[in-house]
């Protein structure tokens, strides 16, 4: 298993994996797109010595991928992988699988509450992302910045800074929210409140009892000596505040001391009982960081060159540009298959937040459909190599596509009726800047015992339900492995929840398909 994993989990670099439009089958292309595709094939044949028709079949119907063998990450490449065992055992088509998946699709209100990008009702063509302020504050309180730091600099209240403008050259400004923004926030408040009133205990629901309110626009702005207007951000790793200019340049040059792991419960060693030879005390658990084993109030074990943030503040982040929405397919597919894909992305940190650097898409049987390295739009602050497995060398040598190119590629085979599967998929869709409504999120389907906003990691879910280990490589996660794991988890869930149907036979189910589809949809 380790050898198989090492072959398929360490990157694709600049390989020409993955444009499903390469085959021209199952996808409607315009005349201009066909000409461009033919030209690219000729160029690839001239540069790589690979015939344009030398393609290996992918697991998705009508999709193919090109493997030029160029580009590596960590010295290895992704090769073909066997189909998922559960998919082979179930032996059903994507059309039937989509019916089984439909009860797990998040509602529009759940998408909003969980922070998925949704289309603005006031500004068509732009996106809105809601981040629960109470959840934001909850996790901020859990950072090391909320504890006493004997080496911290003197705290200077903002009011005192305002009274000393002549000495410190600091000013504060507040931005008035326009009537249009207020209308947007009012609509979002109504949507969230309707969700709280309509959802029952049998549905997968987001954190209840929390109303939406606007993102805090009254952040303090300071004018530094260079005349640069800056806004305050919160570091997602240590929780400290730092300043970034409007041009995306760091005004705060400060190292980030943090824990890269999470706080987890661990079994503590049993202590010997006093005055009782050979007798130990009861089993007890302790809370510690998974990275270094330190206590929750211990100082950070890792040092970053700068603080980082995710690009979004608490509350409603509205009027976001650069997002594309999946469109309705013009023609109904002959086999009724609109597509089912699992998506996983890797991101890096820039001055403007997180940006996409790799995207992987797999079919319902686990075969690779699309895999690309992506050039970030802004200067990279941290490549997040510990988790992404991608280094600066990988991007410099192998990243040839921009985010806009990737969006165009994905829109070629993902439509409004396609089902996307992922773990915490809102982060992936934010990075891709894609608005999509048919989403299955394994972090919601397999909830945490404490409920939202707490979520179980993909690693623990796979270990518990699939009895195998993933994310074991110290050089970083494998997006291909993670995407396959998400799809396999949902196949396991379907097989478990609808076990009676599979025991009686899928053929019997097909006879009741119309009735069952009406109930699901």
The CA-based angle 229-233-237, given to 5 degrees, is 150
131: phi then psi, degrees, rounded to nearest 5: -120, 120
Q: What whole-number distance in Å separates Cα of residue 41 and Cα of residue 21? A: 12
- Tally of residues, the chain: 521
The residue extents of the domains of the chain are 2-49+79-117+325-441+474-520, 118-147+155-256+308-322, 261-272+279-300
- Of residues 364 and 278, more confidently modeled: 364
Residue 183 banded pLDDT, cuts 50, 70, 90: low
| Whether the predicted pLDDT of 382 surpasses 60 | yes
Please state the rounded mean pLDDT for residues 205-227: 41
Tokens of 249: 């340049």
Checking if the pLDDT of 379 tops 80, the result is yes
CB 476 within 8 A of CB 390: yes
Lowest-pLDDT range of 24-33, 68-77, 110-119, 497-506 = 68-77
Q: What pLDDT is stored for residue 281 in this prediction?
A: 65
Place of tokens 């608490």: 314
Range scoring the smallest mean pLDDT among 279-293, 359-373, 469-483, 506-520? 506-520
pLDDT of res. 324 = 97
Structure confidence at residue 518 as a pLDDT band (50, 70, 90): low
In angstroms, how far is CA 438 from the centroid of its own chain? 15
Which residue reads 């009133």 in tokens?
A: 197
How far is the CA of 439 from the CAs of 44, 475, 513, in angstroms? 35, 30, 22
| Rounded Cα distance, 317 and 217, in Å | 10
Task: Give the count of alpha carbons within 13 A of 243, CB side only.
Answer: 14
Specify the pLDDT at position 165. 45
Residue 420: pLDDT band with limits 50, 70, 90: very high
pLDDT mean across residues, the chain? 75
| pLDDT surpasses 80 at 308 | yes
0.85 exceeded by pTM: no
**Fold exhibited by the domain 2-49+79-117+325-441+474-520:** Nucleotidyltransferase; domain 5 (3.30.420)
For the cut 50, the answer to whether the pLDDT of residue 164 exceeds it is no
Give the Cβ contact number of residue 500 at 10 Å: 8
CB of 357 within 8 A of CB of 406? Answer: no
CA–CA distance, 96 with 505 (Å, rounded to integer): 13
Q: How far apart are CA 308 and CA 302, in angstroms?
A: 14
Q: Which residue has the higher pLDDT, 30 or 438?
A: 438
Structure tokens that stand for 484 in this block = 């396959």
Q: Where residue 204 falls among pLDDT bands split at 50, 70, 90?
A: very low
DSSP SS3 for 242: strand
**What is residue 177's predicted lDDT score, i.e. its pLDDT?**
39
pLDDT value for 210: 35
pLDDT at residue 89 is higher than 80: yes
Q: Is it the case that residue 513 has pLDDT exceeding 90?
A: no
Going by pLDDT thresholds of 50, 70 and 90, the confidence category of residue 500 is confident
Arithmetic mean of pLDDT, 74-101? 80
State how far the Cα of 278 lies from the Cα of 493, in Å rounded to an integer: 46
- Which candidate, 319, 348, 343, 301, places its Cα nearest to that of 476? 348
The pLDDT score that the predictor gives to residue 17 is 39
**Mean pLDDT over residues 92-112, rounded?**
94
Tens-place pLDDT, residues 25-57 = 444 556 666 666 777 766 655 544 433 333 333
pLDDT given for residue 88 in this prediction: 92
pLDDT bracket for residue 133 (50, 70, 90)? confident
* pLDDT, tens digit, 9 for 90 and up, residues 385-416: 988 889 999 999 999 999 999 999 999 999 99
């Amino acid at each position: 298993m380790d050898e198989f994993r090492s072959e398929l989990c360490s990157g694709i670099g600049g390989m020409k994996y993955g444009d499903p439009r390469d085959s021209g089958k199952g996808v409607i292309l315009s005349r201009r797109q066909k000409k461009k595709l033919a030209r690219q094939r000729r160029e690839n044949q001239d540069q790589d010595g690979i015939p344009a028709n030398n393609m290996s079949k992918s697991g998705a119907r009508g999709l193919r991928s090109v493997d030029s063998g160029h580009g590596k990450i960590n010295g290895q490449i992704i090769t073909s992988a066997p189909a998922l065992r559960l998919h082979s055992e179930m032996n059903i088509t994507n059309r039937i699988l989509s019916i089984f998946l439909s009860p797990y699709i998040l509602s529009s209100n759940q998408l909003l509450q969980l922070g998925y990008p949704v289309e603005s009702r006031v500004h068509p063509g732009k996106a809105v992302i809601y981040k629960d302020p109470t959840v934001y504050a909850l996790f901020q309180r859990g950072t090391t910045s909320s504890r006493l730091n004997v080496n911290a600099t003197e705290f200077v209240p903002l009011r005192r800074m305002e009274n000393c403008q002549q000495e410190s050259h600091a000013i504060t400004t507040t931005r008035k929210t326009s009537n249009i923004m207020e209308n947007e926030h009012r609509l979002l408040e109504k949507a969230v409140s309707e969700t709280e009133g309509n959802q029952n205990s049998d549905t997968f629901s987001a954190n209840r009892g929390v109303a939406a309110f606007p993102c805090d626009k009254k952040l303090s702005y300071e004018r530094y000596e260079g005349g640069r207007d800056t806004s305050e951000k919160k570091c997602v790793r240590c929780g400290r505040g730092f300043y970034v200019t409007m041009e995306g340049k760091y005004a705060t040059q400060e190292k980030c001391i943090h824990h890269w792991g999470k706080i987890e419960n661990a079994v503590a060693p049993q202590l010997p009982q006093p005055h009782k030879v050979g007798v130990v005390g009861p089993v007890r658990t302790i809370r510690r960081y998974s990275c270094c084993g330190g206590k929750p109030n211990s100082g950070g074990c890792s040092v970053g060159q700068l603080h980082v943030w995710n690009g979004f503040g608490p509350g409603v982040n509205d009027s976001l540009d650069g997002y594309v929405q999946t469109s309705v397919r013009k023609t109904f597919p002959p086999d009724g298959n609109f597509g089912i894909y699992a998506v996983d992305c890797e991101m890096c940190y820039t001055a403007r937040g997180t940006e996409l650097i790799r995207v992987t898409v797999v079919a319902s049987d686990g075969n690779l459909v699309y895999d690309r390295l992506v050039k970030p739009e802004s200067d990279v602050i941290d490549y997040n190599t510990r988790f992404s497995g991608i280094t600066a060398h990988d991007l410099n040598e192998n990243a040839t596509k921009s985010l806009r190119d990737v969006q165009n590629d994905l829109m070629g085979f993902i439509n409004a009726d396609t089902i996307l599967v992922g773990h915490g998929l809102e982060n992936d869709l934010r990075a891709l800047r894609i608005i999509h409504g048919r989403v299955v999120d394994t972090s919601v389907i397999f909830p945490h015992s404490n409920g939202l906003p707490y979520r179980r990691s993909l690693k623990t879910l796979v270990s518990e339900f699939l009895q195998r280990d993933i994310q074991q490589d110290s050089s970083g996660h494998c997006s291909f492995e993670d995407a396959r794991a998400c799809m396999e988890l949902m196949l396991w869930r379907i097989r478990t929840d609808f076990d009676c149907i599979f025991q009686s036979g899928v053929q019997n189910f097909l006879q009741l398909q119309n009735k069952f589809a009406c109930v699901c949809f």
